[in-house]
Chains A and B, each alone.
With several copies, the nearest count.
Chain A
Amino acid sequence: MAKFLELKDAVSSIISSGDSVAFEGFTHLIPHAVAHEVIRQGIDELTVIRMTPDLIYDQLVGMGLVKKMIFSYAGNPGVGLLRRVRDAVENSWPRSIELEEHSHAAMANAYEAGAAGLPLAVMRGYMGAGLKDVNPNIKSITCPFSGEELAAVPALRPDVAVIHALKADRKGNVLIEGIVGVQKEAVLAAKRSIVTVEEIVDDLEAHPNACVLPHWTVTAICVVKGGAHPSYAQGYYGRDNNYYIAWDKVAADRDRFQSWMQENVVAASTNVFSERVEGLEVNQ
């Protein structure tokens, strides 16, 4: 049953050190505001799960909060590498992190299986691929009908799923629209969830088959206008592509990264997100 909470309270009551946390959003609707609140609260020893780790995991990893990362593509989309993740993997700075690496197909299937209450996902995948040899969580099953050997991966069942959505109604029903990614699956697969939204409305005005999370599937809802920045929220504001490009320079240097995080995350508050999307608004 969804509770409406301040972001600070949602994070402190729902995410604990040592939890496995899926922050999802496939390019669209990435929950940056929650990640920054996790950093402010210094919640550590996290197992973070995310198909496309992106800037938020560069930041969480760079701040030393991550013990393990389950992922399928650790890049800055359209820009290049994630320099803080690289530094952790290549040089153990600021700490070493454990990697569990999959393909996109496997991660998507594993979330789907988690949402479906199954212990595993079955797919035709990893054929001839090297990840099979380095990830013991890639196994296989044999189809009892065709004899075909298919790949199997364990379902993802995070302690917490964190997503940013467009809006919620006053009961706590949540609407996601546009590139919906794996967010519905992540929330349904997780034990608990935090959903930040652009706004609360009287009526979702959703299409009959829209991607809606009923209020009783969500743990906490927090209004954070601009909470996906520099990602975007369809119909609200566009992707801040320059921010992604510029991040490459911030993340390239340990000192610059640390001072940037100090100024823009640790010493900042949740309200800054609404300012960050000024000038990026799109017409609804």
Chain B
Amino acid sequence: MSTLDFTPDEMMTIAASRALGNDDVCFVGIGAPSAACNVARLTHAPDITLIYESGTIGTAPEALPLSIGDGELCDTALTTVSVPEMFRYWLQGGRISIGFLGAAQLDRFANINTTVIGDYDAPKTRLPGGGGAPEIASSSQEVYITMKQSKRGFVDKIDFFTSFGHGEGGDHRQRIGIKTKGPTLLITDLAIWKPDPETKELTVVSLHPGVTKDDIQATVGWTVKFADKLEETPAPTADELKVLRDLKERTRIAHEGRKVERKGEVA
């Protein structure tokens, strides 16, 4: 961490948390999105509504869940609905302001692949698949994406269209009948990206502290566009860092669970 008192991962989570507001209704994916949404809730957006696809609405976990459906999410939720209802009334019903997605592969138009590396029928790597993502991408009012930058992940051409971002760019979403905005924000460990208003190509609008344009290009498989007025992401505040680290510590303790060895123990 040398001169800076935070990791790129922490910067990513905190930058993502800042993009969320009190009135947002977020459909939260597991991992980085979950951390960002809960940091927002524990800092500047205490009234944000967090929804996990397991059916928990208005949840406020003390520690981060390992899965999308830990008991903690239900215990602290306003209410918990069935999974069909979640996808029909709450996601398809247009009630989600921000759908928060991660990705294995991402292209310059924010199309996402989490299905396969290689050919679908004879994959090099079979990934978990889309889960809720195909409809989160089309039914949420906006989509935020958060993932670490790497040549493996930021590719010129994704192997499978798990969920549609801006397609081939421009008005491609509208042309195929999608009425929502799609990806409007990408937060990585290095930068903040937004789609160009016209072409919809992802464009770096803010570099995290200490990150150079070369660092960006070195981790991306296409020629990166930078905004004319490139900003620097404000470093995490002491308060933001404390909230995030306390949350991670509570999470660590919570997931440690039981210590006794028993029959059928896998470890």
Residues of B within 8 A of A118 (CB): 92
Interface string of B66-94 (1 = CB under 8 A from A): 11111101110111111110111101111
Residues of A within 8 A of B4 (CB): none
Could you tell me if B55 and A125 are in contact, using CB atoms closer than 8 angstroms? no
CA distance A275 to B262 in the complex (A): 7
Could you tell me if B262 and A279 are in contact, using CB atoms closer than 8 angstroms? yes
CA distance A41 to B25 in the complex (A): 35
In chain B, positions 105-131 with a C-beta closer than 8 Å to chain A are 115, 120-121, 123-131
User: Is A202's beta carbon under 8 Å from chain B?
Assistant: no
Residues of B within 8 A of A123 (CB): 87-88, 92, 135
- Chain B nearest CB from A102 CB (Å) reads 8
In chain A, positions 102-158 with a C-beta closer than 8 Å to chain B are 103-105, 108-109, 111-112, 115-118, 123-131, 134, 148-149
Could you tell me if B89 and A188 are in contact, using CB atoms closer than 8 angstroms? yes
CA distance A49 to B131 in the complex (A): 14
User: Is B263's beta carbon under 8 Å from chain A?
Assistant: yes
Residues of A within 8 A of B197 (CB): none
Residues of B within 8 A of A212 (CB): 57, 78-79
Closest residue of chain B to A232, judged by CB? B71
Could you tell me if B82 and A184 are in contact, using CB atoms closer than 8 angstroms? yes
User: Is A164's beta carbon under 8 Å from chain B?
Assistant: no
In chain A, positions 60-89 with a C-beta closer than 8 Å to chain B are 71-75, 77-79, 81-82, 85-86, 89
- Chain B nearest CB from A149 CB (Å) reads 7
Could you tell me if B130 and A129 are in contact, using CB atoms closer than 8 angstroms? yes
User: Is A284's beta carbon under 8 Å from chain B?
Assistant: no
Which stretch (B12-20, B159-167, B213-221, B237-245) binds chain A? B159-167
User: Is B151's beta carbon under 8 Å from chain A?
Assistant: no
- Chain A nearest CB from B8 CB (Å) reads 21
Closest residue of chain A to B166, judged by CB? A128
Which stretch (B186-194, B204-212, B223-231, B253-261) binds chain A? B253-261
Residues of A within 8 A of B87 (CB): 104-105, 108-109, 123
Could you tell me if A278 and B130 are in contact, using CB atoms closer than 8 angstroms? no
User: Is B1's beta carbon under 8 Å from chain A?
Assistant: no
State the 4 A-B residue pairs at the shortest beta-carbon distance, nearest first: A27-B69, A128-B164, A75-B128, A77-B67
Q: Report which A residues bind B (CB closer than 8 A).
A: 1, 26-28, 51-52, 71-75, 77-79, 81-82, 85-86, 89-90, 101, 103-105, 108-109, 111-112, 115-118, 123-131, 134, 148-149, 173, 178-182, 184-185, 188, 206, 208-212, 214, 216-217, 229, 232, 234, 238-247, 249-250, 260, 264, 268, 272, 275-276, 278-280, 282
Contacts A/B (CB < 8 Å), 24 sampled: A1-B23, A28-B69, A73-B130, A74-B129, A85-B126, A86-B125, A90-B123, A103-B133, A108-B83, A116-B93, A117-B139, A128-B167, A128-B176, A130-B120, A130-B161, A134-B120, A178-B71, A178-B80, A179-B54, A185-B82, A185-B89, A209-B79, A216-B49, A245-B66
